[in-house]
Structure 1
Amino acid sequence: MNRLHNKTVVVTGASSGLGKEIAIQSAKSGANVVLIARSMNRLKELEQTLVNQFGVKVYSFQLDVSDASELERVFTDIVHKVGNIDVLVNNAGFGIFEEAREMDLEETKRMLDVNVFGLMASTRMAIDTMIERQSGHIINIASQAGKVATPKSSVYAATKHAVLGFSNALRLELAEHHVFVTTVNPGPIETNFFETADTSGTYVKNVKKYMLRPEEVAAKVVSCMLTNKREINLPGWMNAGAVFYAVFPRMFEALGQKFFFKK
């Protein structure tokens, strides 16, 4: 992973779960890491750990990515204090598993603000200097839910559909500037994501044996940094289902009824 040595990797949602693991493995690979999340206490703990273990430069910035004015200020501050951003990992996001008719409108807006607007705005703040340098990498954490929507995840799936659409167009726009765009589409990961998404514990109980380890997903993400990787899809069997769904949606929905209702 010499290509990451002394490069700057920015990770949103870095205080826990997949984002934290991506930050750890980026630092282990020699990258300087910028940690972004709402919890400064958690970021400072992680910062100290990474500095002590790997001897890299680590910076922490408190930010709610849905706050446009704060987001612009923080990213300007990052460029001034840290320098160029080589890799931006848009990981911040959350989900709530409820039927559309039961969704609280404020929660719906919040999910769109964080999962979609926050990702787009963070990208907007990073790409100008990447284009100027003709180098860089945007990695957007999407989901298999962005490819196959299931009951009780209508809003969450919609946000991840948006991430995929945005990323696919962005990839075409940035190709001539040698800036890579990768989408990461994992199935369920064993993280604290489900403390909010699945308060009943039903989904976790039903899919526990299928859950991915965050270390496994992070390793895939870090290994693709600064390479022209279009997508990372995990697990393979779930992505095969997404491909089948794209070709035969009606048949897939009919055959998959039992599996879909896990929430």
Structure 2
Amino acid sequence: MDLTNKVVLVTGGSAGLGEQICYAAAKKGAIVVTCARRINLIGQVKETCAQLSGKPAFAFQLDIADPTSVASLLDKVANEVGPVDILVNNAGFGIFENFVDFQMTDVYKMFEVNLLGMMVLTQRIVIDMLAQNRSGQIINVASMAGKMATPKSTIYSATKFAVLGFSNALRLELKSAGIQVTTVNPGPVATEFFDKADPSGNYLDAMGNHVLDPVKLAERIVRSMERPKREINAPGYLEVAARFYTLFPQIGDFLAGGLFNKK
């Protein structure tokens, strides 16, 4: 797919990986729609995207956990931008904490943001694609935590396992319509995600050089818009570990609870 003039909508686009996806898509000539709660930050992302693409760019405030906010966003996009060609569901957050210490309000919120809100937005976008008989792509940013759970990631892993299950079924449902579904399963990425997930900073320090560069990962994601693929897994050694975990679960538990447990 040539991304020139394609409408790419990115949730969680105010900073981190979402911001970099916006920039990488803009460099390919896409019309970028960046969405997040922090309206001051997405305004800056919008301006940069317009400069990079030489085309209009848009910024709309979105609380993905609020269905009313999702409906308002879609009305604005329909009226001011036009049909969405590629949806990138990037919004999400995590908290690394033992399950017995978790506040249940945080559990509900994480499911609302990481899974349920994403489903509401995706359904509306897909309905529009099908009604207009248009091909397109849904890119869901999941996590390696959705393939291989580790201690202190009970709730975050649960949400991401659900994102993967949802995406895998949706891919099969939409195949005949020419709508691609891609899942992105990264390990730790050097973004402000960890400001909330692990305020101590110990996890990123422990991971050292294994932490992913958001710019490079964003470029890889945008390349998958041009040549759609089923999954993007990074880094490579964690993809191998996740497959090993599935094939040899008892050894996998030992590794996930030891070698790969840096929280």
TM-score for the superposition, normalised by structure 1? 0.97
The Cα shift of 1:261 comes to 2.8
Give the corresponding residue for 1:113. 112
The Cα shift of 1:77 comes to 1.8
1:177, 1:54 → 2: CA distance?
29
**Counterpart code for 2:124:** M
**Counterpart code for 2:133:** R
2:255, 2:88 → 1: CA distance?
35
Give the corresponding residue for 1:25. 24
Give the corresponding residue for 1:8. 7
For the Cα contact (< 8 Å) 2:150–2:257, is it kept in 1?
Answer: no
Give the corresponding residue for 1:184. 184
CA shift in 2, pair 1:251/1:144, >3 Å: same
Q: Percentage identity across aligned positions?
A: 45
**Counterpart code for 2:87:** L
For the Cα contact (< 8 Å) 1:87–1:226, is it kept in 2?
Answer: no
2:52, 2:21 → 1: CA distance?
15
CA root-mean-square deviation: 1.2
Give the corresponding residue for 1:44. 43
**Counterpart code for 1:219:** E
Unaligned runs of 5+ in 1: none
The Cα shift of 1:58 comes to 0.5
**Counterpart code for 1:73:** S
The Cα shift of 1:227 comes to 3.4
Give the corresponding residue for 1:233. 233
Aligned residues: 262
1:92, 1:7 → 2: CA distance?
21
2:52, 2:8 → 1: CA distance?
17
Give the corresponding residue for 1:204. 204
**Counterpart code for 1:66:** A
Deviation string 1:168-224 (CA, Å, 9 cap, x unpaired) is 010011011000000000100011100000011121111122100001110110001
2:180, 2:224 → 1: CA distance?
10
**Counterpart code for 2:218:** A
**Counterpart code for 1:145:** A
The Cα shift of 1:4 comes to 0.1
**Counterpart code for 1:7:** K
Does residue 87 of the first structure (1) align with residue 86 of the second (2)? yes
For the Cα contact (< 8 Å) 1:142–1:163, is it kept in 2?
Answer: yes
1:153, 1:114 → 2: CA distance?
16
For the Cα contact (< 8 Å) 2:9–2:32, is it kept in 1?
Answer: yes
Give the corresponding residue for 1:149. 149
Give the corresponding residue for 1:70. 69
SS across alignment from 2:229: coil
1:125, 1:226 → 2: CA distance?
23
Does residue 165 of the first structure (1) align with residue 165 of the second (2)? yes
**Counterpart code for 1:190:** A
Give the corresponding residue for 1:100. 99
1:255, 1:101 → 2: CA distance?
22
**Counterpart code for 1:120:** M
SS across alignment from 1:75: helix
1:250, 1:193 → 2: CA distance?
30
**Counterpart code for 2:61:** Q
SS across alignment from 2:152: coil
Give the corresponding residue for 1:243. 243
- In terms of mean alpha carbon deviation, does 156-165 or 52-61 score higher? 52-61
Unaligned runs of 5+ in 2: none
SS across alignment from 1:9: strand
